Structure 1
Amino acid sequence: MVVDEYVQARPSAGLSAYVAGYSGYRQAGVAPMRHLGLPSPWLTMILTLDDPLVLLAHPDPRQRPGRYDSLIGGLHLSPAVITHDGWQSGVQVAVWPLGCRELLGMPAGELAGVDVDAADILGARAVAEIRERMVHAPDWAGRFAILDEALRRRITSKTVRPEISYAWNHALRGMPIRDIAAEVGWSGTHLTDRFRAETGLRPKEAARVARFDRARRALRPGVSIAAVAAAHGFADQSHLVREFRALARCTPSEWLAEQFDFVQALTLPPAQDG
């Protein structure tokens, strides 16, 4: 029997400052596929429910391919390559970078461009318990509630400096770094350095990834690529195509043809601006 499920949900109110959303997926008996984990303004946490997640390539080419029961990936500027043999199931969590200190106990910058075993951050026992409970939950709502409860228990008081929060929210809206620096009273260099240490990207890189992500989410079969480019701040269709080649290693048309049905094509995030 073929199973092909994708279900999404928002976190509880107490987690909305840390988590943009949950995506549950279950595929069984489908054709083997290769998927791209594209750059986005959120960190990715994945907890599998059965077979491991298989990464053929990480955003950082120095990382070796691997198999993960759980994974947390930092912000990045190139795609991860994920494969499965027709069977996969798990929950993917979109984590706000500015919430990492409170939720994961470290700045998102420490995970920049890399994928790590979630057990190394959340603890092996905690991850095993969450996965076990989700496996036995009766439905996706129950799985999301289990994960939501576990993540809420992790919240600490390790907050981000307000200057960085201001810079993140305004950089993603396209505000020039010199104007942001003037607003927060820092030099452009100091702001860029602190921003990168906290999030893993420079302000211009974060703005670039956010614009790319908005355009990617707007792409649909039958929708003009030129119209998407114009609506999301690209100079023209060629500009958007160049960004896709740089950040996704494919063109928009190729992504639509090969990747659109994967879980990362869903449109749940964003819920707020960090």
Structure 2
Amino acid sequence: MGSREFVRTVPRLDGMVVSATGYRTAGQRPALHRGLPSPWLTVIFSLDGPIATAATPEAARGTDAVRTDIVVGGLHQSPAYVVQPEHEAGIQLAVHPLAARALLGLPAAALAGALVTPGTDVFGGRADDVRAQLCALDRWPDRFALLSGYLRRRAAGADAGRVRPEVAEAWAWLARHRGAGTLGGLSRHVALGERRLTTLFRAETGLTPKQAARLMRFEHARAAVTRAVGAGARPDLARVAADTGYCDHSHLVRDFRRYTGASPTGWLAEECRNIQAREGSGGEEWGHEHHRTHP
């Protein structure tokens, strides 16, 4: 009889961290998890041994996998395969790409060359001390508070330059349009030529505006599918496609294959239990009780 525990929150870090999820599982059948591309950077502090990650299932299970106790992932456009052992625990953060300079000390584009970067290569050795302190704590609210304080101090002492205002406004415009706007409309909005805007945007984030828009649109579609499954319903993919700005159902399926390596139904078959457990945890604030599921 295994246990699965998730607790989620939105940290009070001025929007720099979009969400934080504490997780703990035990007694599970070892498996591979697909870490999907999203418009956010990923930071994970493992509380239960190194995390093995790679670009293919074979590599994730082999000697070529990146194994690290602290994971930092940039914006990517293909799934990252993560080994899920019998038991695991940690805190996963979704970090706004334009907060990378403040929290990580470098632009998000600097992470684009690797699927995963060991956290101490980014944060420095102090991060290992923070991870050890997290492991010593028993309560999720205390762990979240410790990690939030560490990140807040990093942001206060950041000296990695500022994001250009045109890039910041371009990202905000794309987010408001949920990835459905055009490059021409975006270019006019920020008063830059398309080529110049693309160059500046990619230099900051590692993606072009078109690539970021596509990721945002997929993120909204995936979230809609996830909510339906979490509520025990069968997702209406045609309706999801229409509601999230896709031309038709086939374009949504194409993006699912691109970003997950599987069809929507194939991905759901693999991830259904994870989705139901996570969605069942709700969106509680720090300090509220978490939910535990027993499959």
Partner of 1:243: 255
Q: Is the 8 A contact 1:41 1:209 kept in 2?
A: yes
Tell me by how many angstroms 1:248 deviates. 1.1
Measure, in 2, the Cα distance between the counterparts of 1:260 and 1:98: 31
The one of 224, 227, 242 equivalent to 1:218 is 224
Q: Is the 8 A contact 1:217 1:266 kept in 2?
A: no
Q: Is the 8 A contact 1:18 1:99 kept in 2?
A: yes
Partner of 2:17: 19
Residue 188 of structure 2 corresponds to residue 182 of structure 1:
yes
In the superposition, relative to structure 1, how do residues 116 and 264 fare at CA in structure 2: closer, same or farther (>3 Å)?
farther
Listed as ranges, the matches of 1:56-75 within 5 Å are 56-57=54-55, 64-75=64-75
Listed as ranges, the matches of 1:250-269 within 5 Å are 250-262=262-274, 266=278
Tell me by how many angstroms 1:266 deviates. 4.6
Tell me by how many angstroms 1:57 deviates. 2.5
Residue 226 of structure 2 corresponds to residue 228 of structure 1:
no
Residue 121 of structure 2 corresponds to residue 120 of structure 1:
yes
Q: What TM-score results when the alignment is normalised by the length of structure 1?
A: 0.90
Q: Is the 8 A contact 1:24 1:91 kept in 2?
A: yes
Partner of 1:101: 101
Tell me by how many angstroms 1:113 deviates. 5.2
Q: Is the 8 A contact 1:181 1:187 kept in 2?
A: yes
Tell me by how many angstroms 1:66 deviates. 1.9
Measure, in 2, the Cα distance between the counterparts of 1:71 and 1:134: 15
- Residues matched between the structures, number: 264
Higher mean C-alpha displacement, 28-37 vs 169-178 = 169-178
Give the 3-state SS of the residue equivalent to 1:215 in structure 2. Answer: helix
In the superposition, relative to structure 1, how do residues 58 and 45 fare at CA in structure 2: closer, same or farther (>3 Å)?
farther
Q: Is the 8 A contact 1:23 1:263 kept in 2?
A: no
Residue 199 of structure 2 corresponds to residue 199 of structure 1:
no
